Homo-oligomer: A and B are copies of this chain.
Amino acid sequence: MASRVPPSFTRFSAQNLAILGPLRAGLADSKADLAKITGLSPSTVTARVDELIGLGHVIEVGDGVSRGGRRPRRLALRHDGGIVGCIDLGIDRTSIGLVDLSGQLVARIDIELDVAAGPHPVLQRVWAEFETMLAESTAYSQLLLRGLSVGVPGPVSAETGRVIAPSRMPGWNGIDVAQILGALAGVPVLVNNDANLMALGEYAASDRREPDQVFVKAGSGIGCGIIARGELFTGSRGAAGDISHVSVPGAPPVACSCGRTGCLDALASGNALVRELQAAGREVATVEDMIALARDADPVATRLLREAGSMTGGVLATIVNFFNPDRLVLGGVLSQSEVFVTGVRAMLYAECLPLATDRLTIATATRPDDCGLLGAGTVFLDRMFSLQGI
């Protein structure tokens, strides 16, 4: 791979971004296309593209196929202009990956890591593992590390970037992950909630770019990310999408860690189901075990998953009526269970107005394992290729 690294990004002008945007999204790959899409004049496109080529951000990649006239000279982003480190911090498992400037995931590892060990030990371990992975990825280790993008399993303040009131991350309240990791890595760090990143990753990875989507991460916990008008919606506080502690209609008053009873997280999360299954005498340790059991037609596991689907669907029904998304995506481990997904579907169609569901697609994640890392990469690249810059 190219060892000559293009100059560091500072900021792009609005017009350069108008060129880079369609190139990045794959909506255009020639000057003519760019002129059509951006509305800029052909001469301006030529001038801007030449500048971007000179700066080393864009390259010509040979000729395209003719559409009845002169064939276009195809343009592309240089994806060797750097690399972004992506980290999806989980409760007991963390994924680490590399995303190139085109948004492709080009390397990943998974490590066992208990988030309860506390911010500093966890983040030091994560950084050490990342450095090892980067050094071993010979194709990419020469490239400039542009920064890190991290997903955490708890709310992240939109203003300060700190973790706030994370019910499942003891010792992390008020922690500034960007500052700690930034000190270790010496590069810019972005931090977001994991479900938000998964929503964005799914949106970027799938063909179905519906502008209004809801992504539900049903794993050991339950989270949710919102795409509104094609952009991540977090609310001014940064906590939008947090449905863990919504009361489930008509459910038993099971005590929740938040101090109330009947919360979705206490009733339908993977952790809650495993506990119930253990109470019923089954030998299960993880959510995956439980799903395997249900696949083997265990009646209790199957019933619990179906009920969890119903309860999740009941909460989502209100949200679908209210928000009217075009697409609802189920991700997380529980989405691997057909019974759970069926439960969600059945409840949604039963509880929603036809008006709200007749255009609604209910799907499972296109790349369930990767969407967290892909979303982390997307957030970073979108910011890098924006007026704001990194």
Contacts and interface: CB of A to CB of B under 8 A. Distances in A.
A359 B236 CA distance: 9
Interface in A69-108: none
- In the complex this chain forms, how many copies of it are found? 2
Contact of A236 (B210, B241, B245, B250): B210
A317 B247 contact: yes
Interface string A230-256: 000111110111110111111000000
Interface of A: 155, 164-165, 210-212, 224, 226, 228-229, 233-237, 239-243, 245-250, 258, 260, 314-315, 317-319, 321-326, 351, 353-356, 359
A233 B228 contact: yes
Given A212-B235, A249-B250, A353 B322 contact: no
Given A249-B249, A353-B242, A355-B165, A235 B323 contact: yes
A319 B317 contact: no
Specify the main secondary structure of chain A where it touches its partner: loop
Which of A226, A242, A318 counts the most chain B CB atoms within 10 A?
A318
A355 B246 contact: no
Contacts of A314: 247
Contacts of A212: 235-236, 240
A321 B237 contact: no
A113 B248 CA distance: 41
B324 A322 contact: no
A354 B314 CA distance: 23
Contacts of A322: 224, 226, 240-243, 246, 319, 322-323
A326 to B, nearest CB: 5
Contact of A318 (B210, B243, B250): B243
Contacts of A317: 246-247
A317 B260 CA distance: 14
A211 B228 contact: no
A314 B262 CA distance: 13
Contact of A323 (B165, B323, B324): B323
Contact of A155 (B235, B246, B355): B355
A321 B236 contact: no
A240 B323 contact: yes
A250 B253 CA distance: 12
A235 B324 contact: yes
Contacts of A318: 243, 246-247, 315, 318-319
A210 B354 CA distance: 32
A371 to B, nearest CB: 20
Given A228-B233, A236-B210, A236-B212, A246 B321 contact: yes
